[in-house]
């Protein structure tokens, strides 16, 4: 792995690739830039993942600076309701983890907040790799939501592996066995979480992420590798069910049936 990865620019070089809060140090900026460049090169070189539109990475440590920058970037798009939702999400995260730490991709920008993300290399890779893959998946919102999240989760695991980070880690976050244990016994189907409203209506949305990742991994293992996932998102003009069958060589209904059997058999592969 090169020490200094080649810099990357947006398709329109006038659109900045990075916007940093005033409080972000030079050292932090360097780390964010290098990590981002490496991830972009990794996805592009290994899988041909490139974006069709500009994206900007916005990094903040300070909560108030973040809210200000976010509001300014989105102009009229930053409605009071949306900003309230952002505040609520950050507060919920703070309640659970005790930290101000948050990241999202919202169509134009990848936003992240918190020194916990920037200082911890693993967290930084995890966030950038996940949200950048979402940027690749834009802007067709009609595709199954479980697959949008599941394939992004799978993609971030590939990036972590590339960086030499262990996938089973102390928390077992990417451990396939830990994920299987998490959803074993749940009769939640992938089909029922195709719509993002249904996905986020789950009592525990983590079940959706985990099942989605297992679904994506099943497709990788049996129907064409990660390349097929990249292929599925490459053309976003037509009917997603047709694109699914073209990319994986199996219809979505047949896949749901097969995955349902795999799930009810306790995720035993053969």
Shortest gap between Cβ of 51 and Zn ion (angstroms)? 16
Give the residue from 119, 107, 92 showing the smallest Cα distance to 30.
119
Residue 24 or 136: the one with the smaller Cβ distance to Zn ion is 136
Residue 129 or 219: the one with the smaller Cβ distance to Zn ion is 129
Residue 199 or 218: the one with the smaller Cβ distance to Zn ion is 199
Distance CA 142, CA 219 (A): 19
- Spatial contact of 113 and 57, defined as CB atoms under 8 Å apart: no
Residue 24 or 148: the one with the smaller Cβ distance to Zn ion is 148
Shortest gap between Cβ of 262 and Zn ion (angstroms)? 23
Shortest gap between Cβ of 257 and Zn ion (angstroms)? 26
Q: Which long-range contacts (CB under 8 A, 24 or more apart) does 44-48 make?
A: 46/158, 46/162, 47/226, 47/227, 47/230, 48/227, 48/230
Shortest gap between Cβ of 129 and Zn ion (angstroms)? 11
Residue 24 or 220: the one with the smaller Cβ distance to Zn ion is 220
Distances (CA, A) of 183 to 230, 259, 266: 26, 14, 10
Report phi then psi at 102, rounded to 5.
Answer: -160, 150
Residue 28 or 151: the one with the smaller Cβ distance to Zn ion is 151
- Spatial contact of 38 and 5, defined as CB atoms under 8 Å apart: yes
Beta bridge partners of 109: 56
Shortest gap between Cβ of 269 and Zn ion (angstroms)? 25
Query: What are the residues binding Zn ion (CB under 5 A)?
Result: 149, 152
Shortest gap between Cβ of 133 and Zn ion (angstroms)? 8
Bond from prior residue into 67 cis (ω within 30 degrees of 0): no
């Amino acid at each position: 792995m090169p020490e200094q990865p080649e810099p990357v620019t947006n398709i329109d070089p006038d659109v900045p690739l990075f916007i940093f809060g005033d409080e972000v140090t030079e050292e932090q900026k360097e780390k964010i830039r290098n990590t981002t460049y490496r991830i972009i090169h990794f996805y592009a070189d290994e899988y041909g993942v490139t974006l069709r539109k500009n994206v900007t990475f916005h990094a903040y440590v300070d909560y108030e600076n973040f809210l200000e920058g976010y509001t300014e970037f989105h102009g009229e798009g930053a409605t009071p309701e949306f900003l309230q939702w952002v505040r609520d999400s950050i507060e919920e995260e703070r309640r659970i983890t005790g930290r101000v730490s948050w990241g999202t991709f919202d169509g134009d920008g990848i936003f992240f907040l918190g020194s916990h993300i920037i200082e911890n290399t693993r967290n930084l890779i995890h966030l950038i790799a996940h949200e950048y893959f979402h940027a690749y998946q834009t802007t067709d919102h009609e595709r199954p939501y479980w697959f949008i999240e599941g394939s992004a989760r799978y993609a971030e695991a590939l990036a972590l592996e590339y960086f030499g980070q262990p996938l089973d880690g102390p928390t077992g976050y990417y451990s396939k066995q830990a994920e299987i244990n998490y959803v074993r016994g749940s009769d939640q189907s992938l089909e029922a979480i195709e719509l993002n409203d249904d996905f986020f209506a789950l009592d525990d949305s983590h079940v959706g992420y985990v099942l989605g990742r297992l679904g994506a991994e099943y497709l990788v293992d049996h129907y064409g590798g990660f390349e097929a996932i990249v292929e599925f998102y490459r053309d976003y003009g037509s009917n997603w069910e047709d694109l699914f069958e073209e990319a994986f060589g199996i219809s979505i209904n047949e896949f749901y049936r097969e995955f349902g059997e795999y799930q009810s058999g306790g995720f035993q592969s053969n």
